[in-house]
């Protein structure tokens, strides 16, 4: 408890899934948390649920579209007005765009990059000036194991996620002298609505679910809370020399050659 006491954190896409779990864990560790989410209703509901479940929790829901730099700048300003300068940013909002490269529309390509890569940069761009000025800050970008490995038919999502790792490393190096750390987390399969939507889109959803559970060496997929624990660590003062790095959370899946 209180590993993030006194810190102000902004989490994008925090209305549900991994983002909501991170917001919940941050609040439980004493941070004031801004839930910056496209879906204003889920942002408000999750912010309320966290505040009700955690005594003394300070939360604020701000309807935000990460594809718009002005929207993220406004969210950071609102966070500052409510709680003070943002110490921790989690760029979590993301969407799956899985297509065949040659039949994919231009719009699919743009939609994927707008959220999954531009959205991360827009978040960084909004908090970096303040963090550099204060010579303190932690940015955590939620990438994916798709940032290292390719599954056929999932284009162009992994291209954007490779970009997230590049952005993390580049900004981590640029701002290291200013004591701003920029790191990534690469989750493997985590059970969220996004995963259920993907299963449900397959010809046999139950078979797809079972096949997914067979893939990781631990024979299960991850939970959003397991990603949130690592986000707490990277956001805290327990990780002062971890920078421009990426922590994979996949139960060992990407280390496995084959069975």
> Which residues have a catalytic role annotated?
157
Instruction: Give alpha helix (H) positions in the chain.
Output: 17-28, 40-53, 69-83, 106-113, 119-134, 157-175, 193-200, 205-214, 224-235
Residues 94, 158, 216, 251: which binds ligand NAD (CB under 6 A)?
94
Structure tokens at 100: 């065949």
Nearer to ligand NAD by Cβ, of 163 and 187: the residue is: 187
Nearer to ligand NAD by Cβ, of 115 and 244: the residue is: 115
Give residues with Cβ within 8 angstroms of 51, minimum separation 6: 27, 57, 58, 59
- Count H helices and E strands in the chain, helices first: 9, 9
- # chain residues binding ligand NAD, by CB under 6 A: 30
Nearer to ligand NAD by Cβ, of 38 and 244: the residue is: 38
The yes or no reply on residue 95 touching ligand NAD (CB under 6 A) is yes
User: Smallest gap, in angstroms, from Cβ of residue 108 to ligand NAD?
Assistant: 14
User: Smallest gap, in angstroms, from Cβ of residue 44 to ligand NAD?
Assistant: 12
Residues 18, 124, 182, 228: which binds ligand NAD (CB under 6 A)?
18
> What mask of x and - would describe binding to ligand NAD in positions 21 to 50, judged by CB under 6 A?
----------------xxx--x--------
The yes or no reply on residue 123 touching ligand NAD (CB under 6 A) is no
- Distance separating alpha carbons of residues 18 and 13, to the nearest angstrom: 8
The yes or no reply on residue 57 touching ligand NAD (CB under 6 A) is no
> What mask of x and - would describe binding to ligand NAD in positions 171 to 210, judged by CB under 6 A?
----------------x-xx-xxxx---------------
CA distances from 87 to 23, 71, 180, 245 (A): 14, 19, 10, 18
Residues 44, 66, 79, 89: which binds ligand NAD (CB under 6 A)?
66
Question: Cis (ω within 30 of 0) for the bond into 42?
Answer: no
Residues 7, 11, 62, 67: which binds ligand NAD (CB under 6 A)?
67
> What mask of x and - would describe binding to ligand NAD in positions 99 to 118, judged by CB under 6 A?
----------------x---
Residues 132, 135, 136, 141, Cα dihedral to 10°: 30
CA atoms within 13 A of residue 167's CA, in its CB half-sphere: 25
* φ, ψ for residue 155, nearest 5 deg: -65, 145
Locus of tokens 């065949």: 100
Nearer to ligand NAD by Cβ, of 183 and 195: the residue is: 195
Please choose, from the candidates 223, 222, 197, 217, the residue with its C-alpha nearest in 3D space to the C-alpha of residue 208: 197
- Distance separating alpha carbons of residues 167 and 207, to the nearest angstrom: 36
Binding site for ligand NAD (CB under 6 A): 12-13, 15-19, 37-39, 42, 64-67, 92-95, 115, 119, 142, 144, 187, 189-190, 192-195
């Amino acid at each position: 408890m209180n590993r993030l006491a006194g810190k102000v954190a902004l989490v994008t896409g925090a209305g549900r899934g991994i983002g909501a779990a991170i917001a919940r864990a941050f609040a439980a560790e004493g941070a004031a948390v801004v839930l910056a989410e496209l879906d204003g209703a889920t942002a408000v509901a999750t912010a309320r649920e966290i505040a009700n479940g955690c005594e003394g929790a300070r939360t604020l829901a701000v309807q935000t579209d990460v594809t718009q730099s002005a929207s993220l700048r406004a969210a950071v300003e609102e966070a500052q007005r409510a709680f003070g300068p943002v110490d921790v940013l989690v760029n979590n909002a993301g969407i799956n765009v899985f297509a065949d490269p040659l039949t994919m529309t231009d719009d699919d390509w743009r939609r994927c990059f707008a959220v999954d890569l531009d959205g991360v940069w827009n978040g960084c761009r909004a908090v970096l000036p303040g963090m550099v000025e204060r010579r303190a800050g932690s940015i955590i970008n939620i990438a994916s194991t798709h940032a290292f490995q390719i599954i056929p038919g999932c284009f162009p999502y992994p291209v954007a996620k490779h970009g997230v790792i590049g952005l993390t490393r580049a900004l981590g190096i640029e701002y290291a002298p200013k004591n701003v750390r920029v790191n990534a987390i690469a989750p493997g399969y985590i059970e969220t609505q996004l995963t259920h939507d993907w299963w449900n889109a397959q010809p046999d959803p139950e078979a797809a679910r079972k096949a997914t559970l067979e893939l990781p060496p631990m024979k299960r997929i991850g939970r959003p809370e397991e990603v949130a624990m690592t986000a707490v660590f990277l956001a805290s003062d327990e990780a002062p020399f971890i920078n421009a790095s990426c922590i994979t959370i996949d139960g060992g899946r990407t280390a496995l050659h084959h069975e």
